[in-house]
Structure 1
Amino acid sequence: MLVLLVSPAGAGAEDAPAAVPATPPSPEQPATPPGDKPAAAPAEQPAPPPGEQAAPSAGKPPAPQPDTPAPPAEKPAAATDKPADDTRESDTREAMCLMIESAARANDLPLEFFARVIWQESRFQADAVGPITRSGQRAQGIAQFMPGTANERGLLDPLDPVQALPKSAEFLSELRNQFGNLGLAAAAYNAGPRRIQDWLAGSGYMPQETRNYVSAITGSSVDDWAAAGRNGKMPARAPTTSCRELMALLKRAPNPFVAGLEQHITLSAAKVWGVQLAAGFSRDKALAMYARAIKRLSNVIGDQDPSLLGSRLRSRGSAMFYQVRIGADTRPEADGLCNRIRKAGGACFVLKNRA
C-alpha cells in the first residue's frame, strides 16, 4: 500500500537546509517550503504606447504648432488580428508538420507514430541537446541523434531538421524491417538495436525508460509488441489524425516523464535524510520539475527512486506542499550526493525527513 506522508498544519516539513547554493535559484531550482517571502519589487509605471509621450502631471497641454501637420490617425487593429508571436509559432508549426509528413510518407511510416517519436525525443525543438551520456557525448537535434549514429547515417548536421527528420524516418523504417513492427522499432531507436536483440534473445534487460518510451508513443507495452512479433497479431493502431491536430493534442497531453515517474515513485520518506530536487503546491508540476532535473543528472542519480512528501502549511490553509527527494541513510551520504549534483550543474538541498 502506498501512503502519502502528510505533516500536520503548522509543522515544519523538515529541518533547516544544510547548505544553500550560492547562486540565485534558477527556474529549475527546487523550492523550499514557503515561509519567508522576498520583498516585493516596486511596481513599475507602465510605459506609454509607442509613438506617444507621457502626459504631464498638471497644467494645460501645450498649444499645437501651426506649421506642424497633425499625424495621420492610426487605423485600429482588427479584433481578429493575431499577435506576431502567435503568427510565427503557427508558421513554425506548419513548416514542421510539412517536414514530418513528408519524411513519414517517403518511408511508409504512419504519421501518428513518427510525430510521436519526434515529440518524445525533442518536443519538436530543432536545437534540443540531450544530457551527457556515459560515453561523454550528447544526443542532438530534433531527432536526438548521437554523434556516432549521425555519422553512420550520413547526417551532416543533426541540428538541421530538414536533414535530421528524413534520416530519422529512414532509420525507423529500417528498424521496423529488422524487428518486424513499429513498437520494437521505437524501442531500438531509444535503447539501441543491440540491446533489443539481446532482450528478445533472453540475454539482456529492457530499461524502464525504454518501456515508458514505447508505451507513450504506441499506447502498447514493449512486451505486447514482442509477443506480436511472435504471433503476428499487431496491437491496434491509433486513428488517423492530421499533423496539426496531433501537435495540438500532444501539447495538451500529460508529461510522459511524469507518467513514467508515477510507476516507481515512493509516496513516503523511506530514509531518514533526503536530497530535495523539486517542490511546489502542484503535485504534477513538482514531478515534472524533477523529471527535467533527472534528464540532466541521470549519471549522478543513477536508478534511485524518488520519494514524494507532502505537508500542509498553516499559512496556506489546506493546500498541500509537495517535495520530491532522493533518500539517504546518513547526513554525509546526502551531502555527498547533493555536492555531486551541484558539480553536474543541478540544484539541491539536504533536508531531514519527518518520520
Structure 2
Amino acid sequence: MQFRARFRALLAALAGLLVLPTGGFAALPAGGETTEQTICRLIETSASAEALPVDFFTRLIWRESSFRPGVTSPAGAKGIAQFMPGTAAERGLEDPFDPEAAIPASAGYLATLRARFGNLGLAAAAYNAGPTRLARWIADGGYLPLETEDYVLFITGRPVAEWAAKGREAPAAPTPAPIGPGEIDAGMARPGTGARAPRISAVKTAMADCATTVAAIRKSAPRIYDGVYAPYGVQLAGNFSKARAIAAYERQAGRFPALLAGKPTLILGSRAPGRGRHAFYRVRLPAGTLKEASAFCRDLKRAGGNCVVLRN
C-alpha cells in the first residue's frame, strides 16, 4: 500500500500540479496542451474573432516575441505582443505579460489599424512604427525605419511600399514567397479611403494554421528564431481557477521573497483531456536547462515551498 501511494504521488507530480483552495496539490490529467499549443489556440481564437488571417497574426506575434510572454524590449515594449505602456493603457490592457489578455488585445488593435489604414500590411507597419509615424509617411513620403520594412516583409511576404500603393489591391506575390502567408486582405483598400480596389487572384495561397506557420518559420530561420520560451519550467502553482492559481503563487512568493521576488513568471491556461473547454492555469518560472530548473526547485523545497520541474 505504501508503494502504491508513493507511485500515485510520483504520477501526480509528473502530470502537473493543481493547487486546491486549501493549498494542497492534485494531479492534472496527462496529455494536456503544451505551452506552444496554448499560445496557438489563443492566436487562432483571437484571429477568428477579429477576422484576421491566422498565418498573418501568428507571424506577427512570433516576430514580436518568439512566443515568449515575459520579454521586455530595450524600448520598454512588454509581453508576448510587445505592447508599449501607452498603447496598453489605450487598449485597456492591464497586464501585457498575460498572453490570455495580450493576444486578444493585439488582434483587436490590428483590426483597428486595418480599418484606419486600409489593409493588413499597413496595419502591421503601424503596429511596429506607430500609427502617427505611418500616417506621416503615407502623407509626406520619405522613409520608414528599416526595422519596419523588414517587419512587414517578414509578416506579409511583401514590401510595405507595395501595400501603400494607391489604387492597388493585394500587391503581386513576391519571388520567392517567404513561407507563404495566405491571401492577406484580398480586396485591399486604398490607404485612408476605405475604397476597395479590383480583386487580384494571383495572391491566393493556402492558409496555414498557427502550428504549421511556426514550424515553417523555424525551418526557414532557425538561428534567428531559435525558441519560443525556456525549454523547462518550475511550476509553482496551478488551478482551474486563474485567480486561485495566481493567489497560490503570490502566497509562495510572500513566504520566500529571497527566492521568488522579481523572478519572471509565465501564467498560461492550457486545456486538458476530459476537462472540456476549461483551462488549467499554470504559474511557471522559466529555466534554460533541466539542471537550472532542478536546482531552483530543490532550493525552494528545502526552504519549505512547493514546486515541480516540467518540460515546457
Query: Distance in 2 between the 1:146 and 1:224 partners?
Result: 27
Structure number with higher helix proportion: 2
Structure 1 residues 190 and 201, CA, compared in 2 at 3 Å: closer, same or farther? same
The answer for the alignment partner of 2:123 in structure 1 is 185
Work out which of the two has the higher radius of gyration on C-alpha atoms and give 1 or 2.
Answer: 1
Q: Normalised by the size of structure 2, how large is the TM-score?
A: 0.51
The answer for the alignment partner of 1:198 in structure 2 is 136
Q: Which has the higher contact order (CA 8 A, sep 6+)?
A: 1
Contact 2:54 2:210 in 1 (8 A): yes
The answer for the alignment partner of 2:208 in structure 1 is 241
The answer for the alignment partner of 1:300 in structure 2 is none
Partner of 1:109, secondary structure, is coil
The answer for the alignment partner of 1:230 in structure 2 is 167
Structure 1 residues 233 and 104, CA, compared in 2 at 3 Å: closer, same or farther? closer
Superposition map of 1:62-211 within 5 A = 91-131=34-74, 133=75, 138-211=76-149
- 2:220 maps to a residue whose letter is A
- 1:197 maps to a residue whose letter is A
Contact 1:225 1:235 in 2 (8 A): no
Give, in angstroms, the shift of residue 239 of structure 1.
2.3
Structure 1 residues 203 and 223, CA, compared in 2 at 3 Å: closer, same or farther? closer
Contact 1:127 1:159 in 2 (8 A): yes
Query: Distance in 1 between the 2:60 and 2:162 partners?
Result: 18
Structure 1 residues 214 and 233, CA, compared in 2 at 3 Å: closer, same or farther? closer
Structure 1 residues 256 and 225, CA, compared in 2 at 3 Å: closer, same or farther? farther
Give, in angstroms, the shift of residue 88 of structure 1.
8.4
The answer for the alignment partner of 2:155 in structure 1 is 217
State the identity as a percent: 46
Give, in angstroms, the shift of residue 97 of structure 1.
1.2
In structure 2, the gaps of 5 or more residues are 8-13, 17-29, 174-182, 184-204, 226-312
Contact 2:158 2:171 in 1 (8 A): no
Q: What is the count of residue pairs matched by the alignment?
A: 175
Partner of 2:55, secondary structure, is helix
Give, in angstroms, the shift of residue 129 of structure 1.
1.0
In structure 1, the gaps of 5 or more residues are 1-70, 76-82, 259-355
RMSD: 2.9
Query: Distance in 1 between the 2:224 and 2:150 partners?
Result: 8
Structure 1 residues 193 and 255, CA, compared in 2 at 3 Å: closer, same or farther? farther
Query: Distance in 1 between the 2:68 and 2:172 partners?
Result: 29
- 1:195 maps to a residue whose letter is R
**1:177-221, Cα deviation, whole Å (9 max, x unpaired):** 111111111000000001111111125520000000000111100
- 1:153 maps to a residue whose letter is R
Q: Normalised by the size of structure 1, how large is the TM-score?
A: 0.45
Give, in angstroms, the shift of residue 92 of structure 1.
1.2
Structure 1 residues 177 and 257, CA, compared in 2 at 3 Å: closer, same or farther? farther
Give, in angstroms, the shift of residue 89 of structure 1.
9.9
Query: Distance in 1 between the 2:222 and 2:136 partners?
Result: 30
